[in-house]
Amino acid sequence: MKYSPIADEHGFYGDFGGAFIPEMLRKNVEELKNAFLYYSSEPEFIAEFKALLADYVGRPTPLYYSKNLSEKLQAGIYLKREDLNHTGAHKVNNTIGQILLAKRMGKKRIIAETGAGQHGVATATVCALMGLECIVYMGAIDIERQKPNVGRMKMLGAEVRAAESGSKTLKDATNEAIRDWLANVDDTFYIIGSVVGPDPYPEMVAYFQSVISDEIKKQLLEKTGKENPDMVVACVGGGSNAAGAFYHFIDSDVQLIAAEAAGRGVDSGQSAATSVLGTIGVIHGSQTLLMQTKDGQIVEPYSISAGLDYPGIGPMHAHLIHSKRVQSIAITDNEALSAGLSFSRLEGIIPALETSHAIAALERLDIQGKTVVLNLSGRGDKDLSTYLKHL
């Protein structure tokens, strides 16, 4: 593993990215960037990262040839089993990387924001592992909606703080986390959960997640004699599992597909299809596509899947979609639910609702005869009650 940048030196991917932050944070963000640039190529850091991924997280995750789905769709479909990671999704790859960096930087206190609670759980997990204080900001409404994950975070020793402002959801939790960081810049490390936020976060999170496509290449070579598939498909909220699955294929002719949440339909007013509905603006410290009104107020996104319910999209994806390197497909709640149900019965694997958006995208694509890798970003235990309501 060696880091080679995708963004330019200021963290821009074409028109998107950068670091739009208060002056008071500039020194810390620069300190973080320097630490990342140094440690991302340092052998001891990488050895520790890889050892934890192997024995704590359970990597490499299998690349499973999905015989039943392949027969049904007449293609060669491989599932990258990120659902088998410790804590049940890809998010822990990133929190392991960032906690190791926080330790190297001598930080004593970890903060994070979470929507559905998945990133909060992954952060609380690595804080317990490393014995660091953990504070997770979460919208008051999300705390009500996501009780099991709030319980997990508490069990792991994290403090969950409610964001009571605005719509009391993810963007308000993020504002609270940034406020905390501003007040505690010296001893606090902010672990961001997707390829969003100011430079260097998108680069850093993509790099830690790039282990996914690194493994795909090796596993596919072993199984098929070729390291590149014809197509890679992943769901996109902020875009971290997709960034990891696309990473080592960006400079190739492999077709890259991003499945976004259309919610009740792209034109329904209840959607999270950012690449279609978004316009350029600044959110969470970077310039990217986001859902906003004409005067720049953020439009509340909607998706049945809490992990895709985000008003922006990472700047790397904004650029890749804008430049047509990545094709985005908007999948409705109903399409995702029905794909998740039939996939469970076909393969004996219950996918996260986020992942079901990627599975549903397969039906919309021309994949006959192609070798396709589907990134199975997480397991669906957390979504059972939602699935069952629609059975």
Ligand X SMILES: *Cc1c(COP(=O)(O)O)cnc(C)c1O
* Residue 57 or 236 with smaller CB distance to ligand X: 236
Using rule CB under 6 A, residue 355 touches ligand X: yes
Shortest distance (Å) from residue 237 CB to ligand X: 3
* Residue 307 or 315 with smaller CB distance to ligand X: 307
The residue range among 155-163, 170-178, 230-238, 248-256 that interacts with ligand X, by the rule CB under 6 A, is 230-238
The DSSP call for residue 301 is: P
* Residue 117 or 229 with smaller CB distance to ligand X: 117
Using rule CB under 6 A, residue 239 touches ligand X: yes
Task: Determine how many CB atoms are found less than 10 A away from the CB of residue 182.
Answer: 14
Interface residue with ligand X, options 18, 197, 238, 301 (CB under 6 A): 238
- Range 246-252, long-range pairs (CB < 8 A, 24+ positions): 246/213, 246/320, 246/326, 247/206, 247/207, 247/209, 247/210, 247/212, 247/213, 247/214, 248/210, 248/213, 248/214, 248/216, 248/217, 249/213, 250/6, 250/320, 250/325, 252/228
Longest alpha-carbon distance in the chain: 57
Shortest distance (Å) from residue 95 CB to ligand X: 12
Shortest distance (Å) from residue 240 CB to ligand X: 3
Using rule CB under 6 A, residue 307 touches ligand X: yes
CA dist 130 and 103 (Å) reads: 8
Using rule CB under 6 A, residue 328 touches ligand X: no
Structure tokens at 89: 């999704």
Per-residue binding letters, 167-196, with ligand X (x by CB under 6 A): ---------------------------x--
CA dist 372 and 78 (Å) reads: 6
Per-residue binding letters, 94-123, with ligand X (x by CB under 6 A): ------------------------x-----
* Residue 76 or 126 with smaller CB distance to ligand X: 126
* Residue 200 or 307 with smaller CB distance to ligand X: 307
* Residue 21 or 170 with smaller CB distance to ligand X: 170
| Catalytic residue IDs | 91, 113, 377
Residue sitting closest to ligand X (CB): 378
Q: Where are the alpha helices (DSSP H) in the chain?
A: 23-39, 43-52, 67-73, 91-104, 118-130, 140-145, 147-155, 170-183, 201-209, 211-224, 240-246, 274-277, 315-322, 333-347, 353-364, 384-389
Phi, psi of 110, rounded to the nearest 5 degrees:
-115, 135
Shortest distance (Å) from residue 89 CB to ligand X: 4
Using rule CB under 6 A, residue 380 touches ligand X: no
Interface residue with ligand X, options 111, 192, 206, 236 (CB under 6 A): 236
The residue range among 2-10, 160-168, 276-284, 352-360 that interacts with ligand X, by the rule CB under 6 A, is 352-360
Interface residue with ligand X, options 102, 126, 235, 336 (CB under 6 A): 235
Structure tokens at 362: 């397969």
Interface residue with ligand X, options 352, 360, 373, 374 (CB under 6 A): 352
Interface residue with ligand X, options 200, 237, 263, 301 (CB under 6 A): 237
Strand 76-81 to strand 63-65: parallel, antiparallel, or no bridges (unpaired)? Answer: antiparallel
Shortest distance (Å) from residue 317 CB to ligand X: 9
Provide the CB-side half-sphere exposure for 345 (13 A, CA).
8
Per-residue binding letters, 78-97, with ligand X (x by CB under 6 A): -----------x-x------
Instruction: State the number of binding residues for ligand X (CB under 6 A).
Output: 19
Question: Of the candidates 226, 202, 167, 217, which has an alpha carbon nearest to the alpha carbon of residue 287?
Answer: 202
Q: Contact positions toward ligand X, by CB under 6 A?
A: 89, 91, 118, 194, 235-242, 307-308, 352, 354-355, 377-378
